[in-house]
Amino acid sequence: MPLEIEETAQPLGAEVKGLDPTVTLNEEDLRRLKEAFDRRGVLVFRDLDIDQGFQAQLSEQLIGVEPGRGGSGESEVRESYISNRKAGAAAPYGRLQFHSDTMWAKEPLQVLSLYGLDVGAPVAPTTFASTIFAWKALSDDLRSRVSDLKAVHSAGQHKQFEDDDLIAAVPERPKSTTTPIGLRHPRTDETMLYVCEQMTHEILNVSPEESQELLESLFGYLYNPENLFHHDWRNHDLVIWDNLAVQHARPNVAQDGPARTLRKFVSPLEGIAMEERAFNYSPVPAGGS
Ligand SMILES: [Fe+2]
């Protein structure tokens, strides 16, 4: 049976039905999955009984890594979890603002995936925002104001608020990078609106007031409800997303709330040390010690 790819009503996200993890993907199905991944940014597969090796291989295939040639060989993939139950897991509680993992790096990660291992109800969704559609949606005036400007992105969390439930800690010497605000996607060549609420500190060569005003205007497009896709987790859901074409966020997770254990895959092919990737998942509350 051919794969069915159902697009959401939003400009991002699609659900894939009919994938059989016990059968090798044929060329035509893989081509269709890659095309949907590049066009929609997020693919959801439900009711898949899969191990970490399958999750890793499919995630890498979507960015063009051939099976067996990537870093998804079991010995190289370190188990990693987002969980309010599992000891030592990342992001055990709290809210995460919109971000792309390792956005502060020169070559940030291209693909991420999560798999529902132990999901109670109701649990916090993961929400995605399209950086490509946000760029397209900008008013002509705003696009022309920012098209030659650059922004600084740093590891950790930019803003801290008292009594907030945000969890990303600020590293002592945060790594940072400077990029154009309208940045080309390395695989699709689409222009992305490359700023985020968690890590973008400032826009260069404008006053602090103008930087703030511009960022708020840009966030208004990025996080417009029409530019968002919410995924409500169930056990055995696999969600694979393009870490640059979409940003992700989640509302507050309570440590004593319903179980929320998701197995995470980050490609070891991409040259960023594991400990550095973990920056924005520190279990230390923002502002805490
Ligand atoms: Fe993240």
Residue that wins the pLDDT comparison between 143 and 102? 143
Domains of the chain as residue ranges with CATH? 1-289 (3.60.130.10)
Residue that wins the pLDDT comparison between 80 and 136? 136
Q: What is the pLDDT of residue 14?
A: 98
**pTM for the predicted model, two decimal places:** 0.91
**d(CA 81, ligand 1 centre) in Å:** 12
Q: What is the pLDDT of residue 279?
A: 42
**d(CA 141, ligand 1 centre) in Å:** 31
Mean pLDDT throughout 236-264?
Answer: 96
Q: What is the pLDDT of residue 68?
A: 64
Mean pLDDT throughout 19-32?
Answer: 95
The alpha carbon of residue 102 and the mean position of all alpha carbons in its chain are separated, in whole angstroms, by 10
**d(CA 27, ligand 1 centre) in Å:** 31
Q: Would you say residue 175 has pLDDT above 90?
A: no
Of the pLDDT bands very low, low, confident and very high (cuts 50, 70, 90), residue 156 is confident
Cα separation, 225 vs 129, in Å, equals 9
Strand order in the sheet with 150-154: 176-180, 150-154, 200-203
**d(CA 167, ligand 1 centre) in Å:** 12
**d(CA 101, ligand 1 centre) in Å:** 5
**d(CA 73, ligand 1 centre) in Å:** 23
Cα distances (Å, whole numbers) of residue 249 to 94, 101, 146: 11, 11, 24
The model's pLDDT over 65-81, given as tens digits with 9 standing for 90+, comes to 876 655 555 445 667 89
Q: Would you say residue 97 has pLDDT above 90?
A: yes
Averaged pLDDT of the chain = 88
The model's pLDDT over 199-247, given as tens digits with 9 standing for 90+, comes to 999 999 999 999 999 999 999 999 999 999 999 999 999 999 999 999 9
Q: Would you say residue 286 has pLDDT above 70?
A: no
